[in-house]
Chains A and B, each alone.
Chain A
Amino acid sequence: MSLTQAASTLVRHSARQPLPALRHASAASVQQQRRHRADASTSHAQFKSPFHRGQQDSPDTTVIPSFKKYRGGSETGNKMFSYFMVGAFGGLSAMGAKDTVQNFLVNMSASADVLAQAKVEVDLAAIPEGKNVIIKWRGKPVFIRHRTSDEIKEAEGTDWQKLRDPQPDSARVKKPEWLIMLGVCTHLGCVPIGESGDFGGWFCPCHGSHYDISGRARKGPAPLNLEVPEYDFPEETNLIIG
């Protein structure tokens, strides 16, 4: 035990103090040593172990080293720094999550070229009474019928409760003289022919469905009435479909 201790002390001493022969080196090497003096590895300063009490040479295991040097800032400041970092990263993650969700939702919405063609404006003053007009809206034909007063009376007088798809005429038009509906047969999607059929309305040539003057399915295989799109009259003689 004491032998090993003595040996380690000897090694430590020889490491700290260079041999006398080396001490008397040439002037150039001394200068070089001076240049390196700032470096910790060549420093001659005594190493003070934090586990030694006072100037004692033997380690004392009951000594608690001081960590004062490594402590920094006030308690409030440190705490606020930690919470600020947590909050800042939380906020960044919230922004990222919000943008991710938003991008998915924006991806699903209609693009600008689709929105630009979504609405169609029609000048109703050019359509005389008792005439059909077919316009294209979102790639489908739309029938616009300027109905006469006789036709309105006929459409409203129909016993609609007994029809295949019961619907009163008032539920299919906003203004009784203007009937607007999609020109797609509800059976298999042909375009019906206007002013024909057994009921004075539309007739589908593909499978023989008959629609009346309100666009309701009356005869043939069609299961539903002709679909009425979303439309509005912003002015008296103006119609916007879509």
Chain B
Amino acid sequence: MAGFLANFYGQIVKRNTTFLASIFIGAFATELAFETGANGIWDQINKGRQWKDIKQRYMEADE
């Protein structure tokens, strides 16, 4: 654990550029993960009630 932390410190935190870059990349990844997860939960709760779920019924009848 300590070895891993020391390695992490030396690789990323010690230089400000890499630290800042990793913060921004982390923020981007976190936002992506959060939004995907939140949308997944929403779709799960509203399964069968959204337009994309019932779309094919009306599209087939139309064409």
| 24 residue pairs bridging A and B, Cβ less than 8 Å apart | A74-B2, A76-B2, A76-B5, A77-B1, A80-B5, A80-B8, A80-B9, A80-B13, A83-B13, A83-B19, A87-B13, A87-B22, A87-B23, A90-B23, A91-B26, A91-B30, A92-B27, A94-B23, A94-B24, A94-B27, A95-B27, A95-B31, A98-B27, A98-B31
Q: Which residues of B contact A98 (CB under 8 A)?
A: 27, 31
Give the number of residues in B that approach A within 8 Å (Cβ atoms): 15
Chain B residues proximal to chain A, CB less than 8 Å: 1-2, 5-6, 8-9, 13, 19, 22-24, 26-27, 30-31
Could you give, for residues 59-85 of chain A, a 1 whenever the CB lies within 8 Å of some chain B CB and a 0 otherwise? 000000000000000101101100100
Chain A residues proximal to chain B, CB less than 8 Å: 74, 76-77, 79-80, 83, 87, 90-92, 94-95, 98
* Of B2, B19, B30, the contact of A77 (CB 8 Å cutoff): B2
Q: Which residues of A contact B24 (CB under 8 A)?
A: 91, 94
Q: How far is A77 from B31 in the complex, measured between Cα atoms in Å?
A: 27
Q: Which residues of B contact A94 (CB under 8 A)?
A: 23-24, 27
Q: Which 10 pairs, one residue from A and one from B, show the smallest C-beta to C-beta distance?
A: A91-B27, A94-B27, A80-B5, A83-B13, A91-B23, A95-B27, A76-B5, A90-B23, A87-B23, A76-B6
Other 17 A-B pairs with CB < 8 A, given A77-B2, A87-B22, A98-B27: A74-B2, A76-B2, A76-B6, A80-B5, A80-B9, A80-B13, A83-B13, A83-B19, A87-B13, A87-B19, A87-B26, A91-B26, A92-B27, A94-B23, A94-B24, A95-B30, A98-B31
